[in-house]
Amino acid sequence: MSEWFYWCGRALLNQTSRLYYRRIEVTGREHIPAVGPAILVANHPNSVADAFLLASQLTPRKINFIAKESITRAPVVGWVVRQFGLVGVARAMEYENRRELARQRNQAAIHTCIPRLLAGELLAIFGEGISTDARHLHIIRKGALRFGYAAEKAADFRLGLRWIPVGFTYSAKQHFRSDVLIRVGQPFSLADLDPDPAAHEALVLQSGTQRLQRDLEALIVNIETEGLAGLIDKLAELVANPASPLTAQVVRHQRVARAVGYFNQTRPERLTHLAEALQRYERQLARADLSDDVIRQRHPLPVLWKNLGGVLRSSLLMVLNLYGWANSFIPRWSAAFARPLARRQLPGGQMDVTKEAFFASLAAWLGAAVAFPLQTYFVYLWAEASIGFRGAAGLATVYALSLIPSWRLFVRRRDILREQFANLRDTLVFLLRPRHAVRLQVVRRRLQREVRHLLTDFEAAGPRAA
């Protein structure tokens, strides 16, 4: 039963992810072996969403998860996640006065996973041990190395197990229809860490964990100093190309983050000057009642005609859009109803958007589970009177198969239409206020040159900046 449950649940997670996120890009899938044991070690910036994406977007192979024990011991949820192959571990923060019990339970978890790795299965673990909103990677725990080392030891170090880093980066994880980039790094094995791993267990565990730390930091935008996060984001936005692939955007953001971190240590006055210039630009935008989205348009007239054409083409597809809108009305209404009910404020004033998104998604699928069979049945009844049983059954089958794709198509077309209208609005604002817009374009280009010089000087510093 667990295999059937896993694959059905995974198909549901895939559809949920594709509906919730606007764009999902995955690079490095070729690093995940088609057969053989491996441990995927990922960062953990977005709670349960990371697990959903890891399970549904990386590989067609089944993935067994390592997660906190409190999930697997929950009355109903625990049974569900165990069907997905989830194994619970005891976290030190939850066993402060019961360290020996935590050690025993973690040892039992290792013994549970060893047969799975010996059978050539995949294991996934979030290396930091916690999910966090921090913009930097926390210290990677040794658990990922311990699980793999125990399996290798059981196989007399002939298993050939590999550890594979996986980095998650979200464009705006707090928002519906955000973008997400998943980067799979280069795998490594015990042989890459030590020629005689059996004789140097402690050294192997330490060096392997350090390598995972470095590899994961290279896959994400890692901002060590939280106070610089706002400046880094704004500078990266200045030199960004919104139309470029997510990988290119993240690589550019990484370059800016490293350069800012380097000059913050070596020449902080340069960053101060750049931050002041950026603040002056923002004040000028506010006084002119313009936005950076308006100013960034270099050729407004071609953009205007391009987006007008896009809106017209979208209008021609209105019937198709309405089909998806009507089919998905009840699931979308259910999600909209459940989202405020799950809204909860966290300490510090932030909202628990993960819980809100989870309950909204659950409500949407419950609405679909009720509405889609009824809609299919009504289509069958409507068609049976005119084309008979066989024709009505065939039409109802086609309709049922089109429900989720039309839902996804509607959401995608809605994103495109909103983007086209936003571009039209910004272009019209530019054309209506050309004098202010052109003057601020000059200021923006000057800022861009300063940022590019910063990056060039950082790269010229060579190994000292790395």
The answer to whether 181 and 169 have CB atoms below 8 angstroms apart is yes
What is the C-alpha separation between 47 and 359, in angstroms, rounded?
A: 14
What is the C-alpha separation between 192 and 136, in angstroms, rounded?
A: 27
Q: Which of these, 114, 98, 204, lies nearest to 150 by C-alpha position?
A: 114
Task: Give residue for tokens 């459940």.
Answer: 338
What is the C-alpha separation between 33 and 122, in angstroms, rounded?
A: 9
pTM: 0.91
The answer to whether 50 and 131 have CB atoms below 8 angstroms apart is yes
pLDDT of the residue at 351? 59
The answer to whether 56 and 24 have CB atoms below 8 angstroms apart is no
pLDDT in tens, the chain (466 residues): 467 888 888 898 899 999 999 999 999 999 999 999 999 999 999 888 899 999 999 999 999 999 888 888 877 778 888 878 888 888 766 677 777 887 888 888 899 999 999 999 999 999 998 888 888 999 999 999 999 999 999 999 999 999 999 999 999 887 888 999 999 999 999 999 999 999 999 999 999 999 999 999 999 999 988 899 999 999 999 998 888 899 999 999 999 999 999 999 999 999 999 999 999 999 999 999 999 999 988 777 787 788 788 778 777 777 788 999 999 999 999 998 888 877 766 555 565 667 778 888 889 999 999 999 999 999 999 999 888 888 999 999 999 999 999 999 999 988 988 888 888 889 899 988 889 999 999 999 999 999 999 999 999 886 655 5
pLDDT of the residue at 411? 92
Q: Please report the sign of the dihedral spanned by the C-alpha atoms of residue 60, residue 62, residue 66, residue 68.
A: positive
pLDDT of the residue at 196? 93
What is the C-alpha separation between 278 and 238, in angstroms, rounded?
A: 10
The residues, ordered by sequence, that sit 6+ positions from 250 with a Cβ below 8 Å of its Cβ are 169, 181, 183, 220, 221
Looking at residue 453, its amino acid is: H
Task: Give residue for tokens 């895939």.
Answer: 14
pLDDT of the residue at 1? 45
The answer to whether 85 and 6 have CB atoms below 8 angstroms apart is yes
What is the C-alpha separation between 217 and 232, in angstroms, rounded?
A: 16
